[in-house]
Amino acid sequence: MQWETVIGLEIHVQLSTKSKIFSGSSTAFGAEPNTQANVVDLGLPGVLPVFNEGALKKAIAFGLAIDAEINKKSFFERKNYFYPDLPKGYQTTQLESPIVGPGHVDIMLDNGETKRVRIHHAHLEEDAGKSLHEDFHGMSGIDLNRAGTPLIEIVTEPDMRNSAEAVAFAKKLHTIVTAIGICDGEMSQGSMRFDVNVSIRPKGSDVYGTRTETKNLNSFRFMEEAIKLEVERQIDVIEDGGKVIQETRLYNGDTKTARSMRSKEEANDYRYFPCPDLLPVEIDDDYINAIRGTLPELPDTKMKRFESDYGLTEYDASVLSANGDLADYFEVVVKGCNDAKLAANWCMGELSKYLNQSKRDIRDCPITADSLGLLLARIKDDTVSGKAAKTVFQALADGEGSVDDIIDAKGLKQVTDSGAIEAIVDDVIAANRDQFEELKSGKDKLIGFFVGQVMKASKGQANPGQVNAILKKKMAD
């Protein structure tokens, strides 16, 4: 039988506020355990929450970025369950009236088509702490630094049909939340965590199968692996005559295996009800519009602008607009060299390769966008060859000085004096008389040999265009 996969995602996005959602504790990552957990975060008796406006504004910004309705009256509810990393015995969250209503995100598929993924809603809530599973005399340690970090939980409709779509969506969402500055996007620190709901059904069916939820995936790769694994598992179960049971699963990225979470098996009754310590959050159009006014250019808008203003292909525009920092870098490079295509090629080629190899973020790149722009300008004005420019690029990365200093110091300036080039060409022809005759008699591919020899003799400094032109002239002589 042919199976169709149905995927919906729930994404927890940590909002990059300075302080927690209901207390003035820092949200900085990596502090010593429990040093950023104050009386409110610990849920001590008699303490009370007060809502952080920074979290509200970031949640609204997200809603605006996905073209969603913003609820002008929303409120917080308590979701009740006992867990050691949940200090109050309830999570303050939103159920009935979330801040962000239905919206959508468009993703680009491998075949170049655009697909719309609907967002059911996004709600504000507080993060839990962490249970550390190292052994403390057979006990677990609880660190509540993360407890109270503001989150939005984004819930999609079950609109994705394979792992590639899910990953494309996840990456697009990452692009959006980092572009609008509501999340630092540090997946390895848990800033974005994905829960994946997967079910399968016979192709052509319009009834959903029983779904499972694989929780807390914190990389795109794990997400892809976990979905593929779960789809295979469900197909096996059904084809073996079994039934998929609704359950929560845990994927282990190291062993590439998944298992059912026993502790969540017992049916939960979360007893949601409006939190009496917090009042309804009421906002008006002016408040929403003020936030709209502060939104930076959204990735989709930027992509379209890159296509129209710079004449980039859709693919190049989508790659360069996907990361806000890269996009900004690219635009400075274009300004420096006045050639968008050249800038795009270098940003997506040499620069990306370098960042990947050195495991650096564009923000920590030792080559400034101005330097790269200047280097490309030097290619355009024939000061250096493209090949020599790569040497300059590496030297810039190694901190060897400015573009022009490096070109001078390394003697990379192209020889453009045609007399000097012609002399070298003559020497090469003289040394390879027979081959030159063959070239003249029509063996065209030998041209590459001669250009190569001339370049070699000039130690790479001759302008290859000129070499070509002079060779052609000699052949015609």
Partner 1 sequence: MLNKTLKQLSDSLAAGEFSSTELTSAYLEQIKARDSALNAFITVTDEQALAAAKTADQRRANGEQSPLLGLPIAIKDIFCTTGVKTSCGSKMLDNFIAPYESTATSKLSDAGMIMLGKTNMDEFAMGSSTESSFYGPTKNPWDQESVPGGSSGGSAVAVAARLAPAALGTDTGGSIRQPAALCGITGLKPTYGRVSRWGMIAYGSSFDQGGPMTQTAEDAALILNAIAGFDSRDSTSMDQPVEDYSAGLNQALKGLRIGLPKEYFGDGLDDGIRAAVMEAVKTFEQQGATVKEISLPRTELSIPAYYIIAPAEASTNLSRFDGVRFGYRCDNPKDLMDMYTRTRSEGFGDEVKRRIMIGAYALSAGYYDAYYRKAQQLRRMIKQDFQAALSEVDVIMGPTTPSTAWKIGAKSKDPVDMYLEDIYTLSVNLAGLPGMSIPCGFKDGMPIGLQVIGNYFDESRLLNIGHQFQLATDWHTKKPAV
Partner 2 sequence: MSLDRSQVETVAKLARLAIDDSEINDYVSSLSSILDLVDQLQAIDTTGVEPLANPLDAAQRLRPDAVTETNQREALQTNAPQAEAGLFLVPKVIE
Contact residues for partner 2, defined by CB under 8 A? 17-19, 23-26, 32-39, 42, 44, 50-56, 75, 82, 84-85, 131-133, 136, 138-144, 250, 261-263, 269, 271, 274, 276, 278-282
469 binds partner 1 (CB under 8 A): no
Kindly state the smallest distance separating residue 189's Cβ from partner 2, in Å.
18
Give CA separation, 250 vs 121, 160, 185, 261, in Å: 24, 20, 22, 6
In contact, 185 and 177? CB cutoff 8 Å? yes
Mention every residue, 6+ apart, whose C-beta is less than 8 A from residue 25: 19, 36, 37, 38, 40, 41, 148
Residue 437 DSSP one-character state: H
Per residue, the 3-state secondary structure of 384-432, as one string, reads CCHHHHHHHHHHHHCCCCCHHHHHHHCCCCCECCHHHHHHHHHHHHHHC
261 binds partner 1 (CB under 8 A): no
Nearest to 190 by CA among 129, 249, 250: 129
Binding range to partner 1, per CB under 8 A, among 39-47, 52-60, 240-248, 393-401? 39-47
Structure token pair of residue 316: 């190049």
Question: Which position has the token pair 């910004």?
Answer: 61
Query: What does the alpha-carbon distance between residue 188 and residue 312 come to, in Å, rounded to a whole number?
Result: 32
51 binds partner 1 (CB under 8 A): yes
Exactly one of 155, 164, 237, 278 binds partner 1 (CB under 8 A); which one?
278
47, interface contact from partner 1, partner 2, none, CB < 5-8 Å by kind: partner 1
Amino acid of residue 447: I
Amino acid of residue 273: F
89 binds partner 1 (CB under 8 A): yes
Give CA separation, 393 vs 30, 320, 338, 378, in Å: 35, 20, 18, 12
Kindly state the smallest distance separating residue 210's Cβ from partner 1, in Å.
20
Exactly one of 189, 260, 273, 411 binds partner 1 (CB under 8 A); which one?
273
Conformation bin of residue 13: beta by default, left when phi > 0, alpha when psi is -120 to 50: beta
45, interface contact from partner 1, partner 2, none, CB < 5-8 Å by kind: partner 1
90 binds partner 1 (CB under 8 A): yes
CB burial string 171-194: b at 16+ within 10 A, e below: ebbbbbbbbbebbebebeebbbbb
Residue nearer to partner 2 on the CB measure, 215 or 474:
215
302, interface contact from partner 1, partner 2, none, CB < 5-8 Å by kind: none
Residue nearer to partner 2 on the CB measure, 101 or 274:
274
84 binds partner 1 (CB under 8 A): yes
48, interface contact from partner 1, partner 2, none, CB < 5-8 Å by kind: partner 1
Site string for partner 1, 125-154 (x = CB under 8 A): -----------------x-x----------
Kindly state the smallest distance separating residue 81's Cβ from partner 1, in Å.
9
Q: How many binding residues for partner 1 (CB under 8 A)?
A: 29
The alpha carbon dihedral of 360, 362, 363, 367 has a sign of positive
Kindly state the smallest distance separating residue 26's Cβ from partner 1, in Å.
18
Give CA separation, 29 vs 6, 186, 363, in Å: 35, 10, 19
Kindly state the smallest distance separating residue 281's Cβ from partner 2, in Å.
5
80 binds partner 1 (CB under 8 A): yes
39 binds partner 1 (CB under 8 A): yes
Binding range to partner 1, per CB under 8 A, among 44-52, 296-304, 349-357, 455-463? 44-52
Kindly state the smallest distance separating residue 138's Cβ from partner 1, in Å.
11
Residue nearer to partner 2 on the CB measure, 88 or 302:
88
Q: At what angle do helices 324-337 and 369-380 cross, to 10 degrees?
A: 40
Tell me which residues touch partner 1 (CB under 8 A). 39, 42-51, 78, 80, 82, 84, 87-90, 142, 144, 269, 271-273, 276-279
